[in-house]
Amino acid sequence: MLKLLSWNIQYGKGVDGLIDLKRIRDGVLETADADIICLQEISRNEPQTSDGADQLQVLHDYFRDYEAFFGQAYDRSGGVDGKRRQFGNLVLSRIPVKQVVHHPLPSPPDPEKRFMLRQASELQITDRDFSFRLINTHLEYFSEKQQLQQVQQLRGLHQAACEIHHQPGIDHPGTPFEQYKPSQEVIMCGDFNFTPESQSYRQMLEPLPDNTPDLLDAWKVIHPETIRDATCGIFDRNQWEEGPHCRDYFFVSNNLAQRLDSITVNLTNRASDHQPVLLTIS
């Protein structure tokens, strides 16, 4: 079994308003002994959001048996002690990772909205005879215009990888021109910041062109008749006045549907405004 955990940790800020990465570590460990940990909202040297801590270093120290892959959505001056201010997403993996590509996501002009820069990290992973691409991301919340374009970008990344899978370039091993043939199988996870009733959710699942496996909502594959568990708003009613609902997902290509074993949400943890989500694959 392969266990993947996804969690928007809100830079370690719990429901009580305190920032404590030890609680994040404990929340991960109480949820599962995960092979791959995908976290969103990691802050580095930001005096405004994390007391200036390098949260990448702190989290990597907590999970020393994992290799760390940080994708910054922005990289700015003015950090603590003259360091760079960064904010983004983190993948911790104890499964070999062949290649990593960090993709900026589009932020088209939307002058009536506030927004953050967004990104997606794409990892080519091989676990024994099982190879797949993992995409960890966090989409825009305030601007639907930007969010919809970011959904299209994610779908486009999947389509482009499948096209290269069928028509790879000329390989020159050991050089910058070395080719890693991307897998057609993909797992996308993270805080997508949309609800199952939204246009963005529907767009995510629209049919893709030939030779590109369609994307499926892992929860609906595993629990087709079950009401979806909430992933945010369970305890933090200040930020989420609408109460418990879902914004965090695992989307998988349809060629992985038969491998899906279980998906669960840790519904008791209060270390963030979101809940950890665990996907198990056979």
Domains of the chain listed by start with CATH number: 2-168+178-281 (3.60.10.10)
Instruction: State residue 215 phi and psi, 5-degree precision.
Output: -95, 140
pLDDT digits (tens, 9 = 90+) for 191-205: 999 999 999 999 999
Tell me the average pLDDT across 267-274.
98
First and final C-alpha spacing in the chain = 5
State the pLDDT at residue 115.
Answer: 97
State the pLDDT at residue 210.
Answer: 87
Residue 174 has pLDDT above 80, yes or no: yes
Rounded percentage of the chain residues whose pLDDT exceeds 90: 94
**Number of C-alpha atoms within 13 angstroms, CB side, residue 121?**
23
State the pLDDT at residue 199.
Answer: 98
State the pLDDT at residue 129.
Answer: 85
Locate 226 and state its tokens: 């079950």
Which comes out higher in pLDDT, residue 179 or 22? 22
Residue 213 has pLDDT above 90, yes or no: yes
Q: For residue 187, what are the CA distances in angstroms to 62, 155, 162, 230, 255?
A: 25, 12, 13, 20, 11
Residue 50 has pLDDT above 80, yes or no: no
pLDDT digits (tens, 9 = 90+) for 85-135: 999 999 999 999 999 999 999 999 999 999 999 999 999 999 888 999 999
State the pLDDT at residue 67.
Answer: 98
Q: Answer whether 184's CB lies under 8 Å from 163's CB.
A: no
Residue 49 has pLDDT above 80, yes or no: no
Average pLDDT, the chain: 96
pLDDT digits (tens, 9 = 90+) for 6-30: 999 999 999 999 999 999 999 999 9
State the pLDDT at residue 122.
Answer: 98
